[in-house]
Amino acid sequence: MKVATARQMADLDGTAIRHYGIPALVLMENAGRSCTDRILRILEDKVGAPQEASVAVVCGKGNNGGDGMVIARHLHNRGVYVEVFLLGETEELSSDAKTQAEILRKLDLEVRVIRDTEGVEDLRSYLEEVHLCVDAILGTGISSPLSGILREVVEAINLSLATVFAVDIPSGIDATTGRILGEAIRADYTGVLGLPKIGNVILPGSIHCGETEIYDIGIPSRAVFDAEIKTETLEEPVVKSMLSVRPPDFHKGDAGRVFVVGGSPGMTGAPCLSGLASLRMGAGLVTVAVPASLRPIVEAKQMEVMSVGVPDGGGGHFTPEMIPALLDAIAKADFVVVGPGLGMTESTPRFLKELLPRLKIPFLLDADALNALEGQVEALQTAGATCIVTPHTGEMSRLTRESVEAIEASRLDSARHVAEEESVTVVLKGARTVVATPKGDIFINMSGNPYMASAGMGDALTGMIAALASQGLSITDAACAGVFLHGLSADLLVRKHPMTPVTATDVIGNIKGALQHTMDELPPEE
């Protein structure tokens, strides 16, 4: 599904109103009715008959507040006891919100204005008695930290025991980055209007959204298509469309040849994990290329994955002098991974910089291959073939010299900038992994969980992506499908064994389960 920034969503609203002639009040009515239907279902679960429930609707001065007033009206009409709290005088309201406030006045529905701390205390007292509070304070219209009465109201709602339903996005979240602007509503439910906003799906904002539903408020699909929004979520239907069933005459040569270049003393497990992940993801022939002195160790670790030793003079690390022999060893590859367990010596940066322009096979850089390019992200432009980089935030920081804090504050922009400037596909790993393409497209992965936080996960991911790329998927599709299936494999394990950490080996072993689930070929119950 497409994911919008605050500005893109505002532009879509404007297009629906001005170009297609859909009145803003119609969009507002659609939004309010959709949210009301969900709130009624919540109240039924909570108290039985909605007529026995009480609700506080807290409204701001803009159109998000107008949505809240529509909700208040429909709840009132359904017999729910509603009180509206307004953060501003009526004359300060937006035009459409003012219309909604006038309707409430004619219905004799009580509206209390919060002007000062006394008004906040009034709200706080009422929240002790209600079953649900609707947050219709700010929506997407905020980009600076909350302060004053606004912040006090948000804190009062968060400290209450009432169930909280946020309209579009919890107040206090930057809809374009997902950042928390000082303080933000912690919602149990969020009714997302039109398209999800980046703040609905990227952490930490997504944590504050609770259970989300997306509502069609009447914006024409043609308007969304014409907007050319280049960010979307990675979910099962999208990934399923990237995969295909093998024909009857398929053989291992058709399944792709993957070479994994890596390994150093004490770190031979990393390239072996990548190789095993490639094999389990369907690559037909997988070979781990390591310094020759380490080959006996690698041979002892694996059976189906092959190995090749590159003469190293007993040093155990890749050096620039080994590049010609390495290129000969990987000449038949369809895709190459460089980095797992590579290690760092004085010669490693030179090895990488000299290797990049000589690699004529599509490849992926991970782990120490990225650390070797510290502060030299422009070196990626010298790559002799299509390239994927898979940094976590720390590696991205070392690569670009941008602070970890700055990257985390704007993960999408950081990934997009490197992808476009260096003409590479970027997989910025972490909670909600981001895939960015050289064309500026962004994919936000919706699979994965915190129980994946263990060594070797990145090695497994690189192997999975490599296998998919070797089998003929485009670089973008291979990166996207690999990221999603990697997270889904772990999700399925955690569903079966809740709150249980998973290892990279666990994830690799469950790749077949993730594939079956995605392709709707569910395995039989045990």
Contact, 163 vs 133, CB < 8 A? yes
In this structure, which amino acid lies at residue 118?
A: E
pLDDT in 10s for each residue of the chain, 526 residues: 999 999 999 999 999 999 999 999 999 999 999 999 999 999 999 888 888 899 999 999 999 999 999 999 999 999 999 999 999 898 999 999 999 999 999 999 989 999 999 999 999 999 999 999 999 999 998 888 999 999 999 999 999 999 999 999 999 999 999 999 999 999 999 999 999 999 999 999 999 999 999 999 999 999 999 999 999 999 999 999 999 877 787 777 777 999 999 999 999 999 999 999 999 999 999 999 999 999 999 999 888 999 999 999 999 999 999 999 999 999 999 999 999 999 999 999 999 999 999 999 999 999 999 999 999 999 999 999 999 999 999 999 999 999 999 999 899 999 999 999 999 999 999 999 999 999 999 999 999 999 999 999 999 999 999 999 999 999 999 999 999 999 999 999 999 999 999 999 999 999 999 999 999 865 544 4
Q: What is the DSSP string of 334-388?
A: SEEEE-TT----TTHHHHHHHHGGG--S-EEE-THHHHTTTT-GGGGGG-SS-EE
DSSP E strands in 253-341: the ranges are 257-261, 285-291, 306-310, 335-338
In terms of Cβ atoms closer than 10 Å to its own Cβ (0-12, 13-18, 19+), residue 73 is buried
Q: Three-class SS of residue 57?
A: strand
Burial of residue 155, with CB atoms counted within 10 A of its CB: 0-12 exposed, 13-18 middle, 19 or more buried: middle
Q: What is the pLDDT of residue 404?
A: 96
- No. of H helices and E strands in the chain? 22, 17
CA atoms within 13 A of residue 77's CA, in its CB half-sphere: 13
Give yes or no for a contact between 180 and 205, defined as CB atoms under 8 angstroms apart: yes
User: What is the Cα–Cα distance from 359 to 220, expressed in whole angstroms?
Assistant: 47
Q: Report the interhelical angle of 95-106 vs 24-47 (nearest 10°).
A: 50
CA distance 314 to 293: 5
Structural tokens at position 74 = 């429909």
- Report the alpha-carbon distance of residue 317 to residue 337 in Å, rounded: 16
**CB of 130 within 8 A of CB of 50?**
no
What local confidence, expressed as pLDDT, does residue 522 receive?
Answer: 53
The HSE-up count of residue 40 (CA atoms within 13 Å, CB side) is 17
Strand order across the 306-310 sheet? 231-234, 442-445, 434-436, 425-428, 387-389, 363-365, 335-338, 257-261, 285-291, 306-310
- Strands of 111-113's sheet in order across: 111-113, 81-86, 54-59, 132-136, 163-167, 189-193, 211-215
The set of long-range contacts for 268-271, using a CB threshold of 8 Å and a minimum separation of 24, is: 268/294, 268/297, 268/298, 268/301, 268/341, 269/301, 269/341, 269/456, 270/340, 270/341, 270/367, 270/456, 270/459, 271/298, 271/337, 271/340, 271/341, 271/459
Bridge partners of residue 163, in order along the sequence: 132
Residue 214 to residue 392: CA distance in whole angstroms: 30
pTM given for the model: 0.93
Q: Which residue has the tokens 């919540």?
A: 42
pLDDT at 526: 42
Preceding omega of 204 cis (within 30 degrees of 0): yes
Nearest alpha carbon to residue 39 among 175, 115, 132 = 132
Q: How open is the CA angle 430-265-333, to the nearest 5 degrees?
A: 65
The DSSP line for 256-268 is: -EEEEE---TT--
Distance, CA of 415 to CA of 478 (rounded, Å): 17
Find residue 4's DSSP bridge partners.
Answer: 197
Domains in the chain with CATH codes:
6-229 (3.40.50.10260), 237-244+252-517 (3.40.1190.20)
CA distance 199 to 511: 30
Q: How far apart are CA 419 and CA 424, in angstroms?
A: 5
Phi, psi of 378 (to 5 degrees): -65, -15
Mapped onto helix, strand or coil, the DSSP state of residue 191 is strand
